[in-house]
Amino acid sequence: MPVSDSALMEPKSLSAETAADARLEIKNLNVYFGEGSERFQAVKNVSVSVQQGGSFGIVGESGSGKSTVLRAVCGLVESWDGEIDIDGAPVSHKRNKAFARKIQMVFQDPYASLHPRHTVDRVLSEPLKLHGFDGIDGRVLRALDDVGLGADFRFRYPHQLSGGQRQRVAVARALMLEPEILLLDEPTSALDVSVQAEILNLFAELRKEHNLTYVMVTHDLAVVAHMCDEIAVMQFGEVVEVMDVDAMRNSTPKTAYTQELLKASMGYDAEFFGDS
């Protein structure tokens, strides 16, 4: 199905809607990779504002720059411009230790993000030691329990875990430092539906208890509808639409691309997708 061009041509600036109490605000973010003729702009003029205690979703095409936006916020990309504000103050290009306490990210790829020769125990306790926490034992056990892994898993290595078990360790690690903002990159796409339900319930509880703020990237529209109040749709490095969750549930998105996403999330339909 063709995607209407009008949806793609005008890069929207959404900063007009910015409210004063934004916890995380991204203004006109651009991210580049490569040099010279290989230079490639992965993120184009993206502006996003997330309220204190809000939960903001990013969906969109594979390769459209969703992970790159989160990585830019974490200070994991070198070449970017624009502005990233946290609680009204712009972040510096080099992030410090206090930043890590405040913001944590769960990475998309649970295989790459865990050190292959560190046990689960080490993965979870290391950040605590680095930041001078006490009661490490108890915290590690509680975190394992929170993500639905028993104490049995404490001394296993990543290769001794299934894909979903690894992702739960990654979620536990992000929660160890009790951050205020969580950046979640496909946090449940490697999980089965029951663990997904448990983790999403956990995210919801944490948000309520600790007033956490989330930015969540996912390709599962049902998950984003369940978790988020506002949703940005990305394509080709740009935000093509921002909608609230009701617009999504009622299937009243503006752009053809978002409508196509909604159709595709209804399941496989050979007649619809088969003959392209």
Ligand X SMILES: Nc1ncnc2c1ncn2[C@@H]1O[C@H](COP(=O)(O)OP(=O)(O)OP(=O)(O)O)[C@@H](O)[C@H]1O
Interface with another protein, residue 118, by CB under 8 A: no
Q: Which of 50, 91, 161, 231 binds ligand X (CB under 6 A)?
A: 161
- Of another protein, ligand X, Mg ion, none, which one sits near residue 155, judging by CB under 5 to 8 A according to partner kind? another protein
Interface with another protein, residue 67, by CB under 8 A: yes
| CB nearer another protein, residue 5 or residue 152 | 152
Q: Residue 177 has which token pair?
A: 């430092």
| CB nearer Mg ion, residue 104 or residue 108 | 108
In the region spanning residues 40 to 59, those forming contacts with ligand X, defined by CB under 6 A, are 42
Interface with another protein, residue 244, by CB under 8 A: no
63: number of Cβ within 10 Å? 13
In the region spanning residues 216 to 275, those forming contacts with Mg ion, defined by CB under 5 A, are none
Sorted by sequence, the CB contacts under 8 Å of residue 170 that are 6+ apart come out as 106, 107, 110, 113, 114, 187
- Rounded Cα distance between 72 and 58, Å, is 14
- Contact in structure between 107 and 52 (CB atoms under 8 Å): no
Using DSSP, state whether 26 is helix, strand or coil.
strand
Sorted by sequence, the CB contacts under 8 Å of residue 44 that are 6+ apart come out as 11, 30, 65, 236, 237, 238
| CB nearer Mg ion, residue 67 or residue 258 | 67
In the region spanning residues 138 to 157, those forming contacts with another protein, defined by CB under 8 A, are 152, 155-156
How many residues bind to ligand X according to rule CB under 6 A?
19
**Residue of 263, 235, 203 whose CA lies nearest to 66:** 235
**Residue whose structure tokens are 């053809």:** 256
Interface with another protein, residue 36, by CB under 8 A: no
Beta strands 238-244 and 230-235, pairing class: antiparallel
**Residue of 265, 263, 185, 190 whose CA lies nearest to 221:** 265
- Contact in structure between 275 and 22 (CB atoms under 8 Å): no
Minimum Å distance from CB 168 to another protein?
8
Interface with Mg ion, residue 163, by CB under 5 A: yes
Sorted by sequence, the CB contacts under 8 Å of residue 72 that are 6+ apart come out as 26, 29, 31, 43, 80, 84
Q: Which of 16, 36, 89, 276 binds another protein (CB under 8 A)?
A: 276
Site string for another protein, 10-29 (x = CB under 8 A): --------------------
Q: Which of 4, 163, 251, 269 binds ligand X (CB under 6 A)?
A: 163
- Site residues (vs another protein, CB under 8 A): 33, 40, 59-64, 67, 108-109, 111-112, 152, 155-156, 159-160, 162-165, 186, 189-198, 200-201, 204, 219-223, 225-226, 248-249, 260-262, 264-265, 267-270, 272-274, 276
- Site residues (vs ligand X, CB under 6 A): 33-34, 42, 62-68, 108, 159-165, 192
